[in-house]
Amino acid sequence: MHRFRRRLPPLTMGFMHRLVTLLRTLRHTAGTAFLTLGLASCGNAQAGMSQTSTADSMVQDWDAHPKLWVPRPILFARAVAPAVADSLPDSIKAAAIKADSARADSLFTGRAPLPKPAPRKDPFPLSPRDSARWPVPGPPPLPGSMLPEYRIVAFYGNPLSRRMGILGEIEPGEMLPRLEKVAAQWAAADSGQKVLPALHLIATVAQGYPGPGGKHRLQMPDSVIERVASWAEERGWLLILDIQTGLSTVDKELPVLLPYLKRPYVHLALDPEFAMKGGKKPGIHMGTMDAVEVNHAIDVLSKLVKEHDLPPKVLVVHRWTYKMLTNSSRIHLDPRVQVVIDMDGYGPPANKKGAYRWFVVRHPVQYTGFKLFYKNDKPMMTPAEVLEMYPKPNYIQYQ
């Protein structure tokens, strides 16, 4: 299974000394602007930065004045096939974007049911044993749960880098409508299934440079997280905050994000690829994460949901090799936290399907995810092709 690994170019020590000194003094908007330049030129920036910003005074204080956030999914009626949906004019497509309580059937009254396409031969058929593992026995979804009510379709990356994913590769004015269009394609491909767009932000970025704390990771400033959060909040979408621990740990990095996770639309992701053990550098060596670390995140999220009367949280854990996630059978299920194991390797469709089967389906936890790469998947699978797999992924991510 081929997989893209980010190799983090080292910077000269003199430059890094000046950069760290500058970042320690620039704690507000100017600091963020400088960091933007650094990430745009280097991919994953090698620096450390404070978590404060003048943008804090302009954002919603969720502790003092909580807002009522309502998801706004996309839904197509079951009678509409993907080809039909693609041919609809923009005005009709826009009308098909419905709130949770709305119905789309009235848009297509009188349309005859379309014939079912002939089934394709699966190159990776599931054995009866593997098939029997799904759906995973576990606690029933609580009211307000995202899964399986919605299929989540996310754009991944960081707005300060064009090299880390589609979220930052193109400008927000183009990226956000594009995500909505892609989510509508998924809704049309699996008509009757509500689709909820999400922005998957790498909030803690693994670094080749150790930084002042020697942790080989960079925590995004509040201004960056708030900016992306505002895009999701105003549209009724989700925000997923991704942690690449570097030489730090989940229990050390998670508290920084708890103020955001108190919001009903904000969820969490862990990336074992960049969870380094034994002092190895991220981007050069492969990281790994154990069920103990995942269970810690589940416990923290569960407590947060209970104390703040929040809807259940989604926890996405990336996986594309066996050793990336050890003892996955020991991950405990909690009704307040919905765990997604996301197959995020890249390559041709046959490789990706094989990895999905071997590293996700054969090691069931709760829900499944599948990642698609605009540049590294050749060719990139279509929604219809992904939906032929069993079980159908509940979470789809584009990088």
Q: Tell me, letter by letter, the H, E, C secondary structure of 40-92.
A: HHHCCCCCCCCCCCHHHHHCCCCCCCCCCCCCCCECCCCCCCHHHHHHCCHHH
Q: Which has the closest alpha carbon to 175: 201, 195, 155, 202?
A: 155
**Helices vs strands, H then E, count in the chain:** 12, 11
The β-bridge partners of 219 are 204
Element (H, E) at 397: strand 395-398
Apex 308 CA angle, 303 and 309, nearest 5: 100
Q: What is the assigned CATH class of domain 62-73+121-398?
A: alpha beta
Please write the tens of the pLDDT for every residue from 77-110: 775 555 545 544 454 455 444 443 333 332 233 3
Q: What are the extents of the domains in the chain?
A: 62-73+121-398
Please write the tens of the pLDDT for every residue from 256-274: 999 999 999 999 999 999 9
Q: Which has the closest alpha carbon to 30: 13, 12, 44, 49?
A: 49
The β-bridge partners of 239 are 199, 266
Q: What is the C-alpha separation between 46 and 85, in angstroms, rounded?
A: 45
Give the pLDDT score at 127: 67
Give the pLDDT score at 183: 97
Give the pLDDT score at 284: 87
Give the pLDDT score at 6: 39
- Long-range contacts of residues 35-40, Cβ cutoff 8 Å, at least 24 apart: 35/160, 35/221, 36/160, 39/158, 39/160, 39/161, 40/160, 40/161, 40/162
Give the pLDDT score at 104: 32
Query: How buried is 129 (Cβ within 10 angstroms: 0-12 exposed, 13-18 middle, 19+ buried)?
Result: exposed
CA dihedral 108, 111, 115, 117 (to 10 degrees): -20
Q: Which has the closest alpha carbon to 280: 269, 288, 271?
A: 288
Name residues of the chain where pLDDT drops below 70: 1-67, 79-129
Give the pLDDT score at 90: 56
| Gyration radius of the chain over CA positions | 21
Give the pLDDT score at 25: 36
Give the pLDDT score at 124: 55
